[in-house]
Amino acid sequence: MKKEGSGISNMDNHRQMPWHSEQMEEVYRKLDTSADGLSDAEAAERLRKNGRNVLRQKPPKTIAQMLKAQIMDPMVLILIGAASCSAVLREWTEAVVIFTIVVINAAIGIVQEKKAQSSMEALRNMSALTAKALRQGEESIVPAAELVIGDVVHLGDGDMVPADIRLIESANLKVQEASLTGESVPSEKEAHIILPEATVLGDRCNMAYHSSIVTYGRACGVVVATGMDTEVGGIAGMLDNEDELDTPLKRKLNAAGKTLTVAGLIVCVLIFIIGALYERPLIPQFLVAISLAISIIPEGLPATATIVMALGVQRMAKKNALIRRLPAVETLGSATVICSDKTGTLTLNKMTVTHIAVNGDFESGRATPIREAVGQHPEVYREMVYAAALCNDASIDPDRSGEIIGDPTEGALIYMAQEFGIDHELLEEAYPRLFEQPFDSERKRMTTVQEIDGSCIAYTKGAVDEMLPLCSHMLTSRGVRPMTKADRDNIAELCHVMSEEALRVLGVCLRTLSSIPSDDDGNVEEDMTFVGALGMIDPPRKEVAESVRVCREAGIRTVMITGDHKVTALAIAKELGIYESGDTVISGEELDAMDDAALKESVRTASVYARVSPADKLRIIKALKSAGEVVAMTGDGVNDSPALKAADIGVAMGKAGTDVAKEASDMILLDDSFTTIAYAIKEGRRVYRNIQKVIQFLLAGNIAEILTLLAATVFNFDAPLLAVHILWVNLATATLPALALGVDPASRNIMKHQPVKSGTLFEKDLVSRVVTQGVFVAAMTTAAYWIGVTTGTHAAGQTMAFCTLAFSQMLRAFNQRSNTEPVWVRAEGLNPWLFITFAVSAALMACILFISPLQSAFRLAPLSGVQWGAAAGLSLLTVVQVEVVKWIRRRRDRMRQ
């Protein structure tokens, strides 16, 4: 036992030490410990110095931090500036309204982020709670968080490894390391092997790593790293080095905000110059400039975009997709590449027997799919099923339906027996185990003995190449016969073929004994009869292939990135349609040999990356982004976490995902279904297109306001519109219909379009539509003003201009749903919210037009019947103009075709 008070300063940066290549004596010396572990006092001192065995987690954002992030948005800053100017000029109505918009927008964003934080707290449950450690020379149960370097820990079936451990002793130990390495098959461990220093993490058979799970056997080992110094901690630390990334929508909205800011400044300066030329008084001229600044800012855009995304979040939540960061709902709609981990994401993370080879299968060279074998009852199948159920240490978990306690490979055999109608528990009760030779890594096989129908039968399962030399006979449909060289060659050849198809091959033998062995060391594994072979794999999820096809049709490539072997990865990729002719497959070794320039070029054609490390995954994601791709990354393991955070959007699995992966993600699939991603893409595209509709709708109205005021200023006319009129139109008659457009149903063909790669929301066609519509509405508004002035007063002209602008906004909302289809064609389905918002906006307009106090507050005048008719007719013409442009476009497209 380690003496109290010893120094441990030599353990700095110990995680980087190649513990797997050290002799145990050297490990003890460097860690200042022994096989008897530590004393309580020494453990307490080390805990005080090195800290608890926990992973560092970023503290959740405070309300103040969330508020700051909301306020620093460029569009919001523009609104705050406009409100401040209005307050300085004592335009209190405008100031209050704009500040209200800012508060609502910030509140929506903060509420959504707090919801995501609460959901993450509910999902957080990763660390092992206790560990069996030697303290004072005796085994003690200690909190896993209080383990220290130098502790000696015992491991058994079902234990979660509580720290990084160098094994001292092991007996038939298998450890599931899928969350760290990506391999679905448990790793076999052997304590006494000394490995080369360059051995990759997945092949270090004398080490057990934090958060992996013991599926078979037992061991003891010495703790060499805890907390953030473990391999898992190192990956978690990589997350701290990744900056918080803007999503494509945030970048585009920020770009829009900057564009509008520049445009606003130019217009304001221009107005001042024109006013100076006309020698207008400063204050009135400044009021006109403020009116123009307000008109150039779509006040409703930030709040509308936020609400549209929040509604998208609610719809996705009903489809088992938890959005942790609001803009992420749109990002998948812009994705061009989905990078996915294999194990647990594309596959079930559940070993399954898919093929069975017996008797004539070895002569034909073709294994029989398990679904074809089920239902047949030759003797040879019975022996295979009995061996699978009886030569087995796994069991069904009584507390978790469909889950296995024990080794996943043995669990697959239990499920296979069930497919043949055999309950392994009932079989074990009928034929209890009388003798066994446990599995070990040297023999690579396991044997059990049962008394069946009055005979002592020994069943053996294990590696075929290890068992064939021990077999003298072969079971056929006609009974047992001596095994020939041709039989051996046929068996070896078929097993090789199955291995090349990424199947894990397991052989089954039997032997009839004269009596039960009395000596525990007795060897029954000789003169055996070969029964057959089983092929198993972690199968792909049935629904994934269709999702991959849908994504490809939508112009989105799916790329597999896994820590599993190349053969297995390629077989799964081909079955799912991820790999196609002409694609390339890159291994971790090949990746290491590439510089960044070569990798950037290779990512264009690579569809499978195999045997890669967490750092490799991160490098691949960055290479794809540098190549101009919008990257979504799915995963469930700790090893996926850095790449999840670096991607434009990280998607973690909610059930099988580790806590670190969930924390790094933007979206969590609560049902672990890859098909939810296809739905998310559709929903993201719907959100993106609807936001574009909103932008087109709002900015066309804003341009109309700008041009109306600018024309009046240039020609030295009185202002056709007041600032309060512009604010009312932007908020009461534009924002409500804009919200209705934001929930428009998705187009039927939305998943047949290519992703939008543009770096701006202002695509070429959108800009032309905004400008033409804005110019026409401005012309109608100006015409209304002149009709009002010539048939009445200046106040009547302003009232007519205000009504024309407001009603044209309300009516144009109906033909903004599609840029090609006529307004009367509902190809995307009915949107009742457009009618509801139209009615609400009309009611609000009626209030300020016909209620005297409000009419006076807005400086409006009563209109005659002729003036009302002119305003209504000019408003309708703005709808006609949009429909005429659509008709011209449809005719032009038909002529091109």
- List, by residue number, the catalytic residues: 341
- Cβ atoms within 10 Å, residue 486: 10
Q: What's the CA gap between 300 and 12, in Å, rounded?
A: 56
Residue corresponding to tokens 């993490």: 201
Q: Nearest-CA neighbor of 89 among 798, 878, 724, 881?
A: 724
Q: What are phi and psi of 56, to 5 degrees?
A: -70, 135
Crossing angle for the helix pair 63-71 and 92-123, nearest 10 degrees?
A: 130
The contacts of residue 278 (CB under 8 Å, 6+ apart) are 716
Q: What's the CA gap between 698 and 388, in Å, rounded?
A: 68
Q: Tell me the residue ranges of DSSP E strands in 575-630.
A: 584-587, 606-610
Bridge partners of 436? 448
The contacts of residue 730 (CB under 8 Å, 6+ apart) are 294, 295, 298, 299, 300, 698, 701, 702
Structural contact between residues 862 and 851, judged by C-beta atoms closer than 8 angstroms = no
Residue corresponding to tokens 């820990």: 153
Length of the chain: 897
H/E segment holding residue 649: strand 649-653
Crossing angle for the helix pair 675-714 and 764-791, nearest 10 degrees?
A: 40
Q: Nearest-CA neighbor of 457 among 493, 491, 426, 433?
A: 433
Q: What are phi and psi of 840, to 5 degrees?
A: -65, -45
Q: Nearest-CA neighbor of 786 among 859, 718, 727, 723?
A: 718
C-alpha dist (Å) from residue 384 to 37, 214, 359, 390: 46, 27, 12, 10
DSSP secondary structure of 154-198: EE-TTPBP-SEEEEEEEEEEEEE-HHHH--SSPEE--TT----TT
- Cβ atoms within 10 Å, residue 596: 11
Q: What's the CA gap between 110 and 112, in Å, rounded?
A: 5
- AA letter at 448: T
Q: What's the CA gap between 679 and 692, in Å, rounded?
A: 20
